Amino acid sequence: MKLMKIKIATYCIALATASMVTVGCSQMTKTQKGAVIGSATGGTIGAIIGKKAGNTAVGAVIGGAIGGVAGAYIGRKMDRQAEEIRRTVPGAEVIDAGEGLIVKFDSGILFDVDKADLKENARTNIQNLAATMKNNPETNIMVIGHTDADGSDSYNYSLSERRAASVKSYAMTNGVANGRLTTVGKGETEPIADNSSASGKAQNRRVEIVIVANETLKAEAKRNAQ
């Protein structure tokens, strides 16, 4: 409940900045608060996440959002899954994104340099993440691979695609249905840090896993919003 209040307050600030509304969050009805959450998920989700994830990940969350009280219902389910992932997948950074989650791994945690085969410890991380995916079956999952700017564009695209495919394949091996999983390779095109420094390059070499509601969960959320 405390986390939800913090999120609502954050969304209220973002919406007030965008539309210059004068009604405070404390005066809002449940429906109005849900509308704030829906608006934030769309127009200001990038600002809420900050420079933590690439445009493809943010776009996937926005594209899957429905807003309103139904969106708030989905957000609460995502909060619970986020906490489950934080408990069970210590190698992951979990980014709360309203109606979705972005789970981020530095590529060094998952892969050796210039390789697309999962390390042994990485397999444990993905196995534990797959368990939370199975515990929350009403979601779709996108795996996005990224590289730094070293090497050619074409090579980096290929490496990022192969790494995303490795994560998907191992998740499927651990019981996640193929139909829930898609992969995207972005190469070096979506940096989140400066590629001119070693630390920036390390941040850019990453895999992002986006979790959003599927149509079944959206329908459930709409029923519960009535």
* Two tokens, residue 174: 């651990």
Note the pTM of the prediction, 2 decimals: 0.81
Host domain of residue 144: 2-225
Residue 35 has pLDDT above 80, yes or no: no
Q: Which residues are registered as beta bridge partners of 102?
A: 95, 210
User: Residue 49 has what pLDDT?
Assistant: 77
- Other C-beta atoms within 10 Å of 49: how many? 17
Question: How many domains does the structure of the chain reveal?
Answer: 1
Using one digit for the tens of pLDDT, what is the confidence trace for 121-176?
A: 999 999 999 999 999 999 999 999 999 999 999 999 999 999 999 999 999 999 99
Identify the CATH number of the domain in which residue 74 sits. 3.30.1330.60
- Name the nearest CA neighbour of 144 among 183, 112, 111: 183
